[in-house]
Structure 1
Amino acid sequence: MRIALALTIALACAACGNDVPPEQRAEDDRMLAEQVREANDTLPPLEEVVPEPIQYADMETNDLFGLACSYAPGTSMGARVIARETDAYMKIDGEMLRFAADPGSRELPANSRSFYNGREFTLRLEVAEKEASDDSPFYEGTVWLRDRFDRVVYTGTGAVDCGA
């Protein structure tokens, strides 16, 4: 009895769909397709990232000693990025994230690179040229972190220490 009732309702609903003129059905389909396109083109909300200072324990755990450039924002001396010849690291939400160097990108001091790729983010680095009269061991540098939609989620400018 229940199966017959369900079958009757299903057939009645299917019959109602046939009452729509083909022009109206085409317009409905076009509107639905447009809504799907809009939904697919909408990016998720931008989530800014605040990198944490890389501690000595983080450096030991990830073997981050040797030739590298350390980027620290503003007047802070706590490195937020450590960039090496083949990889770079940032600490975000308590987790050390590794980025692979793009071998085709520009070479920076200490054999580091200007561009690194990660699973969730990409990292772009810039080091300003030093004047001949500048005997400071530090460079001026900028860091850009972009999400998978190529939106900047962090930028910082400050001191860069390159060496062993």
Structure 2
Amino acid sequence: MRRGTIVVGLALVLAACGDGSDAEGMSDAEALEAVEASQKVPAQELVLDPIGFGDIELAGALGFSCTFAARQKPDVVLALASREMGLVKTGGEMVRLAPDPGSGETVAGSWRNYDGQAISFTLALEEEGQPMAPEVTVYPAQLTIRDFNGDVAYESAGMAECGV
């Protein structure tokens, strides 16, 4: 009798464990992935403010750099990439980002990636630029800003003016 009770009990335990699927036929891994995806905060579009010469001067970013302007507004600087820092302005506040030397240099000599507390950006320059002055070259460029989750919060094609 005792042996029969143990066998029935063991059968009930194994039946309760199931095969790792829930009622909808999802595996535990798929269910976990679905829960994590539902808890992820979607990226909010980042609105960039123009960066003026005074902003650059106050940030101590005078000297060699690449300034990015979107195609829609070619005379408005939206990001700056130098060897020492990256800069963007949003909500009226300058955001300073640290260069990521491991990302490699661009053809102009600035870094490709910059990291901050809440955002990071990548400034990708095309290989061929157009000299505009003895120490200034303009490159077709792409600016991509990601939020703390790694989601794209801003992306635009434009031009990067690199030089002193």
Structure 1 length-normalised TM: 0.71
Partner of 1:11: none
Q: Which deviates further from its counterpart, 94-103 or 41-50?
A: 41-50
Partner of 1:108: 106
CA distance in 1, matches of 2:131, 2:148: 39
CA distance in 2, matches of 1:80, 1:159: 11
CA distance in 1, matches of 2:107, 2:75: 19
Partner of 2:161: 161
Partner of 2:93: 95
- Equivalences for 1:12-91 in 2 at 5 Å? 40-42=36-38, 43-74=40-71, 75-91=73-89
CA shift, 1:77, in A, is 1.4
CA shift, 1:55, in A, is 1.3
Structure 1: which 5+ runs fail to align? Answer: 1-21
Deviations 1:91-111 (A, max 9, x none): 011111111111111201443
Conserved 8 A contact 1:109-1:162 = no
Letter in 2 for 1:123: F
2:146 matched to 1:146?
A: yes
Q: Which has the higher helix share?
A: 1
Letter in 2 for 1:64: A
CA shift, 1:56, in A, is 2.0
Q: Which has the higher strand share?
A: 2
Partner of 1:12: none
Conserved 8 A contact 1:84-1:110 = no
Deviations 1:81-130 (A, max 9, x none): 11011210000111111111111112014431111111001111100111
Larger Rg: 1
Partner of 1:3: none
CA distance in 1, matches of 2:84, 2:90: 20
Structure 2: which 5+ runs fail to align? Answer: 1-12
Alignment root-mean-square deviation, CA: 2.6
Conserved 8 A contact 2:45-2:154 = yes
Conserved 8 A contact 2:107-2:127 = no
SS in 2 for 1:59: helix
Conserved 8 A contact 1:68-1:83 = yes
CA shift, 1:40, in A, is 4.4
The alpha-carbon distance between structure 1 residues 49 and 68, as it changes in their structure 2 partners (threshold 3 A), is same
Structure 2 length-normalised TM: 0.71
Q: Give the % identical residues.
A: 27
SS in 2 for 1:105: strand
Question: Runs (4+) of structure 1 moved beyond 6 Å?
Answer: none
SS in 2 for 1:103: strand
CA distance in 1, matches of 2:81, 2:131: 22
